[in-house]
Amino acid sequence: QAGAAPAHGPLLAKDARHALHPWADLSTLGKQDALVITGAQGVEVVDSRGRRYIDAIGGMWCVTVGYGREELVEAMAAQARRMPYFTPFGDVANEPAIELAAQLAALAPGDLNRVHFTTGGSTAVDSAVRIAHLYHAAMGRPEKHHVLSRVDAYHGSTYLAASLSGKEADRVRFHYEDRWVHHLESPGHDPDNSPLSADDRLTGLLDGMEAAIARIGPENIACFVAEPVLASGGVLVPPPGYHRATRELCRRHDILYVSDEVVTGFGRLGHFFASQDRFGIVPDMITTAKGLTSGYQPLGAVLISDRIADALAGTADPGKPVFSNGFTYSGHPVACAAALANIELMRREDICGHVRDVGPYFIDRLRELRGSPIVHAVRGDHLMACVECRVPGESGPTPRNMALAQRVDAYCEAGGLLVRPYENLCIMSPPLVVDRAGIDRIAGIMAGAL
C-alpha cells in the first residue's frame, strides 16, 4: 500500500520554484496550478487533491496496457535485483536486450531483423537518420545525405529530430537544420471539410513529392521519415494509397523509407506495427518507443533491415568503429525487461485484437461530437483521435494558434477527463485496455465540456 499523497500546496510551491516542465508555457508556469499525478490504476489516474480522471492521453501516447500491471513491475524489480546495468557498448551484451531484440525482429515486417536500442523516440529517429547516412556512405554515395520529412510531422526533441519536425509553432527560436532537411506537404486529410476527393488529394501529394525529389536530386537524398498517421500534428490520416505510393517512390530513387512508429507501434492501430499490417508497406527502418514498454520505462529502438546492417558491416575498418552511434542507456536491462513483460502481456490478453474491436467504436462515438458548433472536425484511427475545435459561427478551419483546446480541456478536467490540448486540437490516445464503458465516459464528458 503506497503512503498518503504528499501535501498538495507545498508540492506545487516546489514545482513552481524549481521544475521546468517540457513543452510548457514558461510565462504561466507556476502561476497556475500544475496537475500533480500521484497514483494510477487501470485507465484512471489520481491527483494530489484526490481527484480521479480517466486518462485519455495514455500518459503521453505511451501507457498502453494500463496502470498498475504487476507483471511489468515484477519483471523490472527482478531484473534490477539481478543486474541493474552494465555497458552495452562494443561487444558487451545483456540478456533482456538480446531477448528483446530477437522478439522485435520476429514482430517486425520483412527483413527488419536488426535492432539498435535507444533511450526514447527522439534518439531513435536521430539514430535512424545517422544510420541512413552511414549506409549510403558505406555504399559509396556519401553525397546522399538530404532528408525528406513533412509539414505537421513531429519526430522529437533532439536537435536533429526537431529539425525533422514540421509543426510550425515548434520551429521558432532555434537554428534548425534546413540546409538538408526538406518538408513536403502535410498529408493531413480532413475528408469532411475538404473540397478535394481523396484521389485528387493523393495525386497532389505524390506530384509534390516527385517534384521535391527532382529539385533536390535523388542522388542527394538519404531517407524519407514518416509517421504512418501523424500523431501530435493533429492525428492526420493520409489518404488511402499514400503509404504504398510513397514507399514505391522511395524504392525507385534508392531513398530509405523510415517509418516512425513511436506512436503507431505497439497496438495503437490494432497491430504491433502499423506499417505492414495496417498500411501494407515494409519500410527499410522502423523507429519505435513509448508503447514498447507501455511507458513503464524509457526505451526506444530502431529496427533495421538486414540489407542495411550487412552493408554497414561489410565496410568495417579495423580500428575505426563504423557504427559510431549509441547511448549509455541503449538496451538498459531493466527497460528491456519491462518491454519483454509488456509484449508477453499484450500477447496473452490479445491487446491488438481488443483495439481492432473497440477502435472503430471509439471513433464513431467521437464523431457524434461533430454536431457541436465549436467542433470543426473529428479525425482518427482506432485508439488515436483528435477533436479539432473552431470559434462558433465561423466557417472553415480555425487557425492553429488558437488556445481554444485549452478551454475545452479545462472543462474536461473538471468533469474527470484528461485530454491533450494543443492549439485548437484536443488529442486523445487512451490506454489500449479501455473498454466500451470507458469510451462512453470519454465521449460523454467531452460532449459536456464542448
Interface with ligand PLP (CB under 6 A):
120-122, 125, 154-157, 227, 231-232, 260, 262-263, 289
Cα–Cα distance, 438 to 256 (Å, whole number): 40
The nearer residue to ligand PLP, 390 or 430, going by C-beta atoms, is 430
The nearer residue to ligand PLP, 342 or 372, going by C-beta atoms, is 342
CB of 57 to ligand PLP, least distance (A): 11
The nearer residue to ligand PLP, 158 or 194, going by C-beta atoms, is 158
CB of 155 to ligand PLP, least distance (A): 5
Beta strands in 344-431 (DSSP E): 375-381, 384-389, 417-418, 420-422, 425-428
Mapping DSSP to helix (H, G, I), strand (E, B) and coil, where does residue 192 land?
Answer: coil
CB of 126 to ligand PLP, least distance (A): 9
Question: Radius of gyration (Cα) for the chain, nearest Å?
Answer: 22
**Residue among 235, 232, 220, 224 nearest 281 (CA):** 224
The nearer residue to ligand PLP, 124 or 374, going by C-beta atoms, is 124
Number of other residues whose CB lies within 10 A of the CB of residue 82: 12
CB of 122 to ligand PLP, least distance (A): 3
The nearer residue to ligand PLP, 128 or 443, going by C-beta atoms, is 128
The nearer residue to ligand PLP, 22 or 371, going by C-beta atoms, is 22
Cα–Cα distance, 352 to 45 (Å, whole number): 23
The nearer residue to ligand PLP, 109 or 120, going by C-beta atoms, is 120
The nearer residue to ligand PLP, 292 or 308, going by C-beta atoms, is 292
The nearer residue to ligand PLP, 45 or 286, going by C-beta atoms, is 286
The nearer residue to ligand PLP, 274 or 449, going by C-beta atoms, is 274
**Residue among 346, 303, 314 nearest 127 (CA):** 303
- Residues ≥6 apart with Cβ < 8 Å to 88: 94, 97, 117, 326, 330, 331
CB of 414 to ligand PLP, least distance (A): 26
First-to-last CA distance in the chain? Answer: 38
CB of 35 to ligand PLP, least distance (A): 19
What distances in angstroms separate CA 101 from CA 106, 301, 323, 333, 337, one per listed residue?
A: 9, 9, 17, 12, 12
- Residues ≥6 apart with Cβ < 8 Å to 38: 5, 6, 46, 47, 48
What distances in angstroms separate CA 276 from CA 110, 228, 415, 423, one per listed residue?
A: 9, 10, 39, 32
What distances in angstroms separate CA 262 from CA 221, 273, 316, one per listed residue?
A: 23, 10, 30
CB of 60 to ligand PLP, least distance (A): 7
CB of 156 to ligand PLP, least distance (A): 3
The nearer residue to ligand PLP, 154 or 224, going by C-beta atoms, is 154
Give me the DSSP letters along 72-113. Answer: HHHHHHHHHHH------STT---HHHHHHHHHHHHHSSTT--
200 sits in the region (left: phi over 0; alpha: psi -120 to 50; else beta) called alpha
CB of 14 to ligand PLP, least distance (A): 24
The nearer residue to ligand PLP, 115 or 449, going by C-beta atoms, is 115
- Residues ≥6 apart with Cβ < 8 Å to 445: 54, 412, 415, 416, 417
Cα–Cα distance, 330 to 271 (Å, whole number): 25
CB of 132 to ligand PLP, least distance (A): 16
Residue nearest to ligand PLP (CB): 121
**Residue among 275, 264, 286, 227 nearest 384 (CA):** 264
CB of 92 to ligand PLP, least distance (A): 25
CB of 261 to ligand PLP, least distance (A): 8
Cα–Cα distance, 289 to 266 (Å, whole number): 9
**Residue among 269, 31, 255, 41 nearest 136 (CA):** 255
